[in-house]
Amino acid sequence: MELTAAQGLIRCLELEGVDVLFGYPGGANLPVYDALHESKIIKHILVRHEQGAVHAADAYARVTGKVGVAIATSGPGATNLVTGIANAYMDSVPMVLITGQVSTSQVGTDAFQEVDITGITMPITKHNYLVKDAKKLPSIIKKAFHIAASGRPGPVLIDLPKDVASEIIKFDYPKEVSLRGYKPIYTGHKAKIKEAAELMMKAKRPVIYAGGGVLSSHATAELRELAEILTAPVTNTFMGLSSFPGNHPLFLGMLGLHGTRYANMAVTNCDLLISLGARFGDRVTGKIESFAPNATIIHVDIDPAEIGKNVRVDVPIVGDVKSVIHDMLSHLKKKDRSDWLEEVQNWKKQYPLIYSREGKLKPQAVIQKLSEYSKGDVIVATDVGQHQMWVAQYFSFMNPGSLISSGGLGTMGFGLPAAIGAQLGLPDKRVILVTGDGSLQMTIQELATAVDQKLPLKIFVLNNSTLGMVRQLQEFYTDKRYMAVHFDFVPDFAMIAKAYSIEGYTITSEEELDKLLPEIMENDKAVVVNCIVDSNVNVSPMVLAGKGIIEAIDC
Amino acid sequence: MRHTLAVLVENNPGVLARVAGLFSRRGYNIDSLSVGRTERPDVSRMTIVVEGDQSVLEQVTKQLHKLVDVIKISDITPEEYVDRELVMLKVNADPARRGEIMQIADVFRARIVDLGRKTVTIECTGDEGKINAFEESLRHYGIKELVRTGKIAMLRGHKATSLEEKRDED
């Protein structure tokens, strides 16, 4: 079969099972868009900014488990993807990005809309390709999907020059990939697993510390079985939230700098820390010397480079979390640890998450009400900032993968496009976006995409007219010398909703929210709820820089 | 401590940038890096000398392994190996002092490869210690220009760090 390389590309995407593609057209990707015109399988979602495409593809990948695909033109189109690529890289999300490039004869001449996107994205992709030979395109695409989805997932970029895209090729899509420099390890080392299992049986005060790897390896059932058989409390990293039921008696919530006190106390006092698909990131550990100081550490991760990177590890196990837990379970017997559990339960009672509900509407109350109303049976996308931490603290996640958020990079502006991608991936699920007035304004143009696609997103803006997280940092670290954190002007988000032909509400009290929630949640169109909240609230508890996680302050 | 790594990589455009970029962004110190083709046209070999303790070396190795174009990494430091470096120097040399310089070159089994009116250009190969000593012994004549290739190394005896697998396209 003879095709242009661009037609071949679309054919490859179809064969990879791509049915939704997020993108923005331009000059250098004209051949690709022309080929896309012929596809009956792929639905193209036209966004309003390339950043929207890449975040939407990211969230689409997170909720469907497929590889997310975004496409942009050369130059500014490609650079607009960069933040989103870095975001996916940090959060280990499988994606394939396809950028147009100027014709090969023009590459390197500073041609119009030329940028070295493979050079730019080298540190933020798992791998990238500049296609110089059209014949190699199918095998490159096969490899790109394989690399993106296997091992520790991540983004792969393919840069396709315009002339190469127009070349005629004999189309033949390879069935298999072989990359001698890339062979992820899935099965854990037998002896190490046995050693870990023995430690688990012997431990008196074990804690399971579960991260995003549990979700990406679909190991949530195994995690639960492990926790229950060991009677070991479970704490989540931010990325791990939703991997363990929020109402489970063994659940400790999130740990780390804004984690629950009881999670941090359990980790600090444990004698065995079982790390599953987590990477001991700085938001989790605080002062590294005080992190789980008396614990033997078992670290299971699919990425060997994460093991021993930040903390010393006693039992390293490289492998897929699901497979490793599965193999571990055969060595384990039900273990009762009532003393330890009682101690943990006492901490839970003694140091609950609390906030004052007096005065103006409290942002935490909005989250709590959303959690109660939805019973956790929704997908929650968030942006980045205080609201994100309140979601982590006060939303009780019941279903794996129901939190979609930017963890590693902390990308403000991620939320709205991510909600769009999540809703397109799961059309029958209710998708809530919790955002802030700062974050939303970073990618607010994507409201048009949501309306275009008739997506019934429920958008809750925790509006404090402030860049709240930075304000909080300035309160503690720059002696309340507030600089550039208060917006003198904030648009009326309810009016903005109306301009986009959807419903907009403004609420200022819990009573209003209670009254309107059913109407908001049942609306079959997108809704923006402008929640005017107290601007002086801090995310609490908080571990100050350089302190151990046990030294959190209330604020 | 300094470690010598023999790294086999795909002979693809950009592979040097990938490796060099990894070292710079993760803050690893490269003492030297040399790269060239091998007995197989699709494989290049880098010899990287890196400074750091065992934990740094472990991270360097693991991070290098994450690069798709990196096929095989061998830390040959604890093994028996031969290493060589090539240096070329342009030294100030009045006709009056040429004799001395040529004698020094003889001692190091170096070769004069070019003569100018007031300079000589000498090449010398050897391990790092020898090259350092050679450089030092010529320093007071005034070295106008100096270029070193960086170290290349190979295991002694029948042991090898080459590939046995069958080849793969791009």
What mean pLDDT do residues B85-98 have? Answer: 94
- Examine the residue annotation and report whether A454 is marked as an active-site residue of this protein: no
**CB contact, 8 Å: B15 with chain A?**
no
Report yes or no on A415 lying in a domain: yes
In angstroms, the separation between the Cα of residue A346 and the nearest Cα of chain B is: 39
Q: Out of B62, B67, B165, name the one closest to residue A304 (CB).
A: B62
What is the amino acid identity at position B124?
C
The confidence score (pLDDT) of residue A210 equals 98
Is A111 found in the same domain as A14?
A: yes
Residues A313 and A438 in one domain: no
Same domain, A157 and A200: no
Cα A414 from chain centre: 9
3-state secondary structure A299-331: EEECCHHHCCCCCCCCEEEECCHHHHHHHHHCC
Query: Within an 8 Å CB–CB cutoff, is residue A147 touching chain B?
Result: yes
Does the pLDDT of residue B16 top 70, yes or no? yes
* Angle at the Cα of A462 from the Cα atoms of A461 and A465, rounded to 5 degrees: 105
Which residue of B62, B68, B169 is in closest CB contact with A181?
A: B68
Contacts of B22 in chain A (CB under 8 A): 123
Chain A interface disruption, residue of B62, B64, B164, B167, most A CBs within 10 A? B62
Q: Which residues of B touch A153 (CB under 8 A)?
A: none
Question: A309: nearest CA in chain B?
Answer: B59
Q: Take residue A133 and report the two structure tokens written for it.
A: 């030979």
Average pLDDT over residues B134-158: 94
| CA closest to A148 among chain B residues | B68
> In this structure, which amino acid lies at residue B4?
T
Whether the Cβ atoms of residue A210 and residue A298 lie closer than 8 Å to each other: no
Q: Is A239 helix (H, G, I), strand (E, B) or coil?
A: coil
Q: Which residue did the predictor score with more confidence, B161 or A11?
A: A11
Interface check A308 vs B, CB under 8 A: yes
Q: How many residue pairs from chains A and B have C-beta atoms closer than 8 A?
A: 51
CA–chain centroid gap for A456, Å, is: 21
Distance separating alpha carbons of residues A505 and A221, to the nearest angstrom: 39
The reply to whether B86 falls in a domain is yes
* Chain B residue nearest residue A122, CA to CA: B18
Query: Quick check: A309 contacting B, CB < 8 Å?
Result: yes
- Does residue B170 fall inside a structural domain? no
Q: What is the pLDDT of residue A284?
A: 97
- When pLDDT is cut at 50, 70 and 90, the band that residue B127 belongs to is very high
- Same domain assignment for residues A194 and A315: yes
Say yes or no for a CB contact (<8 Å) between A136 and B169: yes
* Six-digit token string for B130: 């020898």
Final residue of a structural domain among B59, B75, B91 = B75
Give counts: helices (H), strands (E), chain B: 4, 9
Structural domain boundaries enclosing A346: 190-350
CATH of the domain at B87: 3.30.70.1150
Is the residue at A234 inside a domain?
yes
The reply to whether B6 and B70 lie within a common domain is yes
Residues A464 and A367 reside in one and the same domain: yes
SS3 at position A98: strand
**Cβ atoms of residues A281 and A311 within 8 Å:** no
- Regarding whether A344 and A243 lie in a shared domain, the answer is yes
CA–CA separation, B114 vs A111, rounded Å? 43
A474 catalytic? Reply is no
How far off is chain B from A182, nearest CA to CA, in Å? Answer: 5
Residue B163: inside a domain:
no
Of A7, A16, A22, A50, which is the active-site residue? Answer: A50
Q: What local confidence, expressed as pLDDT, does residue B162 receive?
A: 83
Given an 8 Å threshold on Cβ–Cβ distance, is B66 in contact with A303?
A: yes
Last residue of a domain, one of B20, B50, B75: B75
**Hey, is the C-beta of A126 within 8 angstroms of any chain B C-beta?**
yes
Average confidence score pLDDT of chain A: 97
Residue where a domain stops, chosen among A170, A203, A237: A170
B21 touches chain A (CB under 8 A): yes
List average pLDDT for each run of 10 residues in chain A, which is 555 residues long.
Answer: 95 97 98 96 98 98 98 98 98 98 97 98 98 97 98 98 97 94 96 98 98 98 98 98 98 98 98 98 96 97 95 97 98 95 97 96 98 97 98 98 98 98 98 98 98 98 98 97 97 98 98 97 96 97 97 95
pLDDT at B170: 46
* Residue A180 belongs to some domain of the structure: no
Note the pLDDT of residue B168.
Answer: 47
What confidence tens digit (pLDDT) does each residue in B34-58 have? 999 999 999 999 999 999 999 999 9
* Residue B160, in any domain of the structure: no
Residues A44 and A70 in one domain: yes
Distance from CA of B80 to the nearest CA of A (A): 26
A141-180 pLDDT, tens per residue? 999 999 999 999 999 999 999 999 999 999 999 999 989 9
A374 in the same domain as A326 = no
> B57, B66, B165, B169: which to substitute to probe chain A, counting the most A Cβ within 10 Å?
B66
Q: What is the DSSP letter of B26?
A: T
Q: Is residue A367 part of a domain?
A: yes
Determine contact: B113 vs chain A, CB below 8 A: no
pLDDT at B163: 81
Phi, psi (rounded to 5 degrees) for B127: -80, 175
pLDDT of B160 over the 50 cut:
yes
| Residue B165 in domain | no
Q: Domain for residue A357, yes or no?
A: no
Q: Catalytic site residue A350? A: no
Residues B104-107: contacts with CB within 8 Å, 24+ apart?
A: B104/B134, B104/B137, B104/B138
Q: Which residues contact B160 (CB under 8 A, 6 or more apart)?
A: none
Q: How many CA atoms are closer than 13 Å to the CA of A118, on its beta-carbon side?
A: 20
Shared domain for B148 and B124, answered yes or no, is yes
- Count of domains for chain B: 2
Residues 57-86 on B with a CB inside 8 Å of A are 58-59, 62-63, 65-72
* Residue ranges making up the domain that contains B32: 2-75
Rounded to 5°, the CA angle A120-A125-A128 comes to 75
Q: How far apart are alpha carbons A271 and A1 in whole angstroms?
A: 63
Point out the catalytic residue in the list A113, A345, A445, A474. Answer: A113
Both tokens of B104, joined, read 């020094």
| Alpha-carbon span A85 to A156, nearest angstrom | 9
- Is the residue at B89 inside a domain? yes
- Nearest chain B alpha carbon to A147: B68
Within this chain, do residues B7 and B70 fall inside the same structural domain, yes or no? yes
Both A111 and A135 in one domain: the answer is yes
Backbone angles phi, psi at A410, to 5 degrees: 65, 60
Res. B169: pLDDT tops 90: no
Cα(A96)–Cα(A155) distance, rounded to whole angstroms?
6
Tell the burial category of A329 from Cβ atoms under 10 Å away from its Cβ (0-12, 13-18, 19+).
middle
Beta-carbon separation of B18 and A122 below 8 A: yes
> Using CB atoms, which residue from B17, B18, B62 is nearest to A305?
B62
The model's confidence at residue B167, banded by pLDDT at 50, 70 and 90, is very low
- DSSP secondary structure, A372-438, as one string: HHHTT-SEEEE-SSHHHHHHHHH----STT-EE---SS--TT-HHHHHHHHHHH-TTS-EEEEEEHH
Residue A105: burial class (beta carbons within 10 Å; 0-12, 13-18, 19+): exposed
Q: Give the residue from B18, B26, B55, B68 with the most A CB atoms within 10 Å of its CB, the best one to mutate.
A: B68
Nearest chain A alpha carbon to B23: A123
Is B71–A304 a contact, with Cβ atoms under 8 angstroms apart? no
Measured between CA atoms, the residue of chain B closest to residue A182 is B68
Q: What is the predicted ipTM?
A: 0.91
Residues A194 and A330 in one domain: yes
Average pLDDT, chain B: 92
Asked if residue B169 is part of any domain, the answer here is no
Residues A316 and A369 in one domain: no
Determine the distance in angstroms separating the CA of A128 from the nearest CA of chain B, rounded to an integer: 9
B168 → closest Cβ in A180, A303, A308: A180
- On whether both B39 and B87 belong to a single domain, the answer is no
User: CB B165 to CB A308 under 8 A?
Assistant: no
d(CA A39, CA A10): 7
Confirm whether A162 is a catalytic residue.
yes
The number of distinct structural domains making up chain A is 3
What is the structure's pLDDT at A230? 97
- Coil, strand, or helix at residue A46? strand
DSSP label at residue A549: G
CB contact under 8 A, B168 and A178: yes
Query: Which of residues A170, A198, A218 is at a domain's end?
Result: A170
CATH of residue A142's domain is 3.40.50.970
Which member of A66, A126, A162, A322 is catalytic?
A162
% pLDDT > 70, chain B: 96
CB contact under 8 A, B17 and A122: yes
A251-A256-A257-A262 Cα dihedral, nearest 10 degrees = 40
Task: Name the residue type at position A339.
Answer: D
Query: What pLDDT band is residue B159 in, cutting at 50, 70 and 90?
Result: confident
Looking up residue B7, the CATH number of its domain turns out to be: 3.30.70.260
Q: Does A299 touch chain B (CB under 8 A)?
A: no
* Residue A412: active-site member: no
**Min distance A309 CA to chain B CA atoms (Å):** 7
